[in-house]
């Protein structure tokens, strides 16, 4: 398996633009997580899905953020409109639930909002 695939790896955009980050989990995994990493706040869990259903989205910062998982092999994290404070590395991870916390992470999408 190629692992968790994230795209784009790097995104530079201007404030106010819509940003869509994509994730392909490992085949057979039924849980998917979106994390955000910044110097100031460290790794924050934004949202996670079990069997394509959002279970906990309490970490989503505000209504500008939304995440979907239309099927078992694809998820998106959308920011609309984007703001400079959204600049961060966004990680997607997947696991086989119940996995006891054993997650496989993608390489991350580095977002810069100017």
Partner 1 sequence: AQSVTQLDSQVPVFEEAPVELRCNYSSSVSVYLFWYVQYPNQGLQLLLKYLSGSTLVESINGFEAEFNKSQTSFHLRKPSVHISDTAEYFCAVSDRVSQGGKLIFGQGTELSVKP
Phi-psi region of 52 (alpha: psi -120 to 50; beta: other; left: phi over 0): left
Q: DSSP of 88-113, one letter per residue? A: EEEEEEEE-SS-TT--EE---EEEEE
β-partners of residue 6 are 23
Neighbour count for residue 64 (Cβ, 10 Å):
15
Query: Binding residue for partner 1 (CB under 8 A) from 12, 15, 55, 114?
Result: 55
Taking the complex as a whole, how short is the minimal distance between the CB of residue 17 and partner 1, in angstroms?
24
Q: Between residue 62 and residue 91, which ones bind partner 1 under the rule CB under 8 A? A: 91
Which of 49, 43, 32, 44 has the alpha carbon at shortest distance from 93? 32
Among 31, 75, 82, 94, binds partner 1 (CB under 8 A): 31
Nearest to 44 by CA among 65, 30, 58: 58
Query: Of 46 and 113, which has the nearer Cβ to partner 1?
Result: 46
Our finding on whether 26 is near partner 1 (CB under 8 A) is no
- Interacting span for partner 1 (CB under 8 A) from 12-20, 42-50, 61-69, 79-87: 42-50
Residues in touch with partner 1 (CB under 8 A): 4, 31, 33, 35, 42-43, 45, 48, 50, 55-56, 91, 93, 95, 97-103, 105-108
């Amino acid at each position: 398996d190629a692992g968790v695939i994230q795209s784009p790896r790097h995104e530079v955009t201007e404030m106010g633009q819509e940003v869509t980050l994509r994730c392909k989990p490992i085949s057979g995994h039924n849980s998917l997580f979106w994390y955000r990493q910044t110097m100031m706040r460290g790794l924050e869990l934004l949202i996670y899905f079990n069997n394509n259903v959002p279970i906990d989205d309490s970490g989503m910062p505000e209504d500008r953020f939304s995440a979907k998982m239309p099927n078992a092999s694809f998820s998106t994290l959308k920011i609309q409109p984007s703001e400079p404070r959204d600049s961060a590395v966004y990680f997607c991870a997947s696991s086989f639930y119940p996995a006891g916390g054993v997650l496989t992470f993608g390489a991350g999408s580095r977002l810069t909002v100017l």
